[in-house]
Structure 1
């Protein structure tokens, strides 16, 4: 049976990605949905992009745009690097591109250009890096940066009364729009959890790979979770985004 596999924020951790995919055992009919933030943190950001470009040639992939990817695309396109980006992991990405040829950079830039802001599947499930604020759905969002930065959707889902029915007039309209919503962006380790978290119908699969957590994948149908080792152990002489 075909699987829909959602993969959390990678943040330059190619070793974790390879280990995780080894555990998944990709099948020909699988669909892989990556929730964004492929770069910034560990030392292999450029290598992660190269790997994903090749992986897509053999598998059905949906790549979403994260805030770190947006920063990186800006820099790759020739504009000045945002100092905030460099501080929050971008410096390691710049360094990872030192040995990448001009032609390869252009190939990577095309990858970034094609990233999606969000994806809705045939089962009324939404996949988005961070969130959205419009009660009419992401298609009506005025500020498209919310797709990469919003945390109110997740905070609302976490704070909801678990006994509140979806048919209740008090149930947030944003959450009623979709059967399920899958996000990244906010590490679950912020809540002392190193596995994907659930609030209402929202699933957060960013388990802190950029920091002291693991890289996670979730089967959207069965909710089975697979994880890499703690990423920090795979890069013992680095600090990931702990260094800024």
Structure 2
């Protein structure tokens, strides 16, 4: 592979730092940008985040994974679940960003296509990527959705995966805005939505880019 492999942690509606990171990274058509899920909710501009990812997907290879917040939203949009839980966890901010007027068909067609295209995991060389975590004993194609999208590392960090690959995940926000790296697992959720940072990491070099919620790039 000639291009770079770069992962971006949970964005949660913060479009300014996302744009800052992508401009600083300046990915080419040969690069792969893996976004770890939770594009929406809590932050001020979920719609803008999706617009940005779609636009950059025309210039580089965006591999976008499904987070638990996208799962909650899609369940509501499809009529499979009531809206209460989603709204409690940031759905109101997402609806506001789409200028919601009571019509549950509020997603533009290209946004709905984006959400429906999200994957559960991605494997590349010695790394694999999921939103939340994994069962160390199961092959990736056999992983339960609960582990991939909902499991919190606060309940315990999984053992090394049977594949021997390093896991790169998000979901469990570090209140100190620090990257968690235990060797066989790296967590890039540095709590942008809670006043922390949005983080991108190139692999395997572990070069890091970080931006504040206001969109300022850290030196």
After TM superposition, the score normalised by the length of structure 2 is: 0.87
Equivalent in the alignment of 2:5: 4
**Cα pair distance change 1:148/1:93, threshold 3 Å:** same
Give distance in 1, aligned partners of 2:156 and 2:195: 22
* Cα deviation, residue 105, structure 1: 2.0
* Cα deviation, residue 176, structure 1: 3.9
Give distance in 1, aligned partners of 2:76 and 2:189: 24
1:222 aligns with 2:208: no
Deviations 1:135-156 (A, max 9, x none): 1222222x32321001259822
Conserved? CA contact 1:131–1:153, under 8 Å: no
Give distance in 1, aligned partners of 2:115 and 2:30: 25
Give distance in 2, aligned partners of 1:140 and 1:153: 23
**Cα pair distance change 1:95/1:207, threshold 3 Å:** same
Equivalent in the alignment of 1:110: 113
Look up the SS of the partner of 2:198 in the other structure: strand
Conserved? CA contact 1:197–1:204, under 8 Å: yes
Equivalent in the alignment of 2:161: 175
Conserved? CA contact 1:154–1:202, under 8 Å: no
Conserved? CA contact 1:33–1:62, under 8 Å: yes
Equivalent in the alignment of 1:86: 87
Give distance in 2, aligned partners of 1:28 and 1:136: 33
Equivalent in the alignment of 1:166: none
Equivalent in the alignment of 2:73: 72
Conserved? CA contact 1:77–1:109, under 8 Å: no
Please say which of residues 196-205 and 9-18 is displaced more in the overlay: 196-205
Conserved? CA contact 1:39–1:69, under 8 Å: yes
* Cα deviation, residue 185, structure 1: 0.1
**Cα pair distance change 1:120/1:153, threshold 3 Å:** farther
Look up the SS of the partner of 1:181 in the other structure: strand
Conserved? CA contact 1:154–1:199, under 8 Å: no
Structure 2: give runs of 5+ residues left out of the alignment: none
Equivalent in the alignment of 1:167: none
Equivalent in the alignment of 1:127: 129
* Cα deviation, residue 61, structure 1: 1.2
**Cα pair distance change 1:103/1:148, threshold 3 Å:** closer
**Cα pair distance change 1:107/1:90, threshold 3 Å:** same
* Cα deviation, residue 87, structure 1: 1.1
Deviations 1:182-241 (A, max 9, x none): 00000122xx3x232201310001110111111000001210110012x1x45xxxxxxx
Equivalent in the alignment of 1:144: 145
Give distance in 2, aligned partners of 1:152 and 1:207: 13
Give distance in 1, aligned partners of 2:106 and 2:95: 16
After TM superposition, the score normalised by the length of structure 1 is: 0.79
Conserved? CA contact 1:76–1:105, under 8 Å: no
Decide which structure has the larger Cα Rg and report it.
1
Measured on the aligned residues, the alpha-carbon RMSD in Å equals 2.4
